[in-house]
C-alpha cells in the first residue's frame, strides 16, 4: 500500500491527506488515520513543494507541431509578446 500511496502522490501531488485517506479506503479497502498517512509520506521523503499549474488551454499536439515547424530557427531570432488574459487556474492548489 505504500507503493500505491507513492503512485497516487506522483500522479497528483496536490492531494490532501483526507483525499489520500479516501482513495486508500475506496480503492484498496485500507482504513488508515491521517497521522499514519503523514508519517508514511515522511518515510517516503516526500516534501511539500510548489505545484506548477498548467494552463487549461495548453495543447501538446499544437506545441509539438509548432516546435517541428520552427525548431530550426535560432532562439535569438524570436521576440515574445504577451497578451493580457484571464487565468482560469486561480482556484487551483499551489502546494502539494
C-alpha cell at 79: 521576440
Per-residue pLDDT tens for 47-60?
A: 876 667 777 777 88
Inside any domain, residue 56: no
**Which residues span the domain enclosing 14?**
2-43
Number of domains in the chain: 1
What are 31's three cell numbers? 482504513
Assigned domain for 49 exists: no
Q: Is residue 32 part of a domain?
A: yes
Looking at the domain assignment, is residue 85 inside a domain?
no
Judge whether 74 and 42 are in contact, CB under 8 Å: no
pLDDT digits (tens, 9 = 90+) for 67-88: 999 999 998 998 887 766 666 6
Whether the full predicted model's pTM is greater than 0.85, yes or no, is no
Amino acid at each position: 500500500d505504500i507503493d500505491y500511496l507513492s503512485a497516487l502522490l506522483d500522479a497528483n501531488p496536490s492531494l490532501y491527506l483526507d483525499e489520500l485517506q479516501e482513495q486508500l479506503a475506496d480503492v484498496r479497502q485500507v482504513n488508515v488515520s491521517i497521522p499514519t498517512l503523514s508519517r508514511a509520506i515522511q518515510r517516503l521523503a516526500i516534501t511539500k513543494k510548489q505545484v506548477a499549474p498548467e494552463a487549461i488551454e495548453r495543447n501538446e499536439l499544437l506545441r509539438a507541431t509548432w516546435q517541428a515547424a520552427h525548431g530550426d530557427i535560432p532562439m535569438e531570432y524570436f521576440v515574445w509578446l504577451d497578451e493580457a488574459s484571464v487565468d482560469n487556474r486561480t482556484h487551483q492548489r499551489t502546494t502539494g
